[in-house]
Amino acid sequence: MRLASGSGEGGWPFACEGGVVCADAGRLASEAAHAKTVQPPADLHAAVYGCTDDDPEPHFIGWLADVDPDELFASGKAWGVTVRRVAAVVD
């Protein structure tokens, strides 16, 4: 393979076999040069949300591993209790 005399975006040379300039080569080179690093998806954790006397709007109460939503509701300490999966870093 030999390179054509032209260059793609950013001065990257591009060509196809036989010296024919490829229309996509410059675009592909540019995309590769400007590619963003994809972050892995965050871990999802079960969080308990609900309303309390202190804060009647739904808010985070605790992690499901630490809080029993049924007990909170049955005791009357919280209402509108839900468990949501949220992306979070948990220590």
Q: What confidence score (pLDDT) does residue 28 get? A: 75
pLDDT band (50, 70, 90) for residue 22: low
Strand partners, 84: 47
3-class secondary structure per residue, 47-73:
EEEEECCCCCCCEEEEECCCCCHHHHH
Burial class of residue 14 (count of CB atoms within 10 Å of its CB; 0-12, 13-18, 19+):
buried
pLDDT band (50, 70, 90) for residue 19: low
The whole-number average pLDDT for the span 44-73 is 96
- Domain spans, the chain: 1-38, 44-87
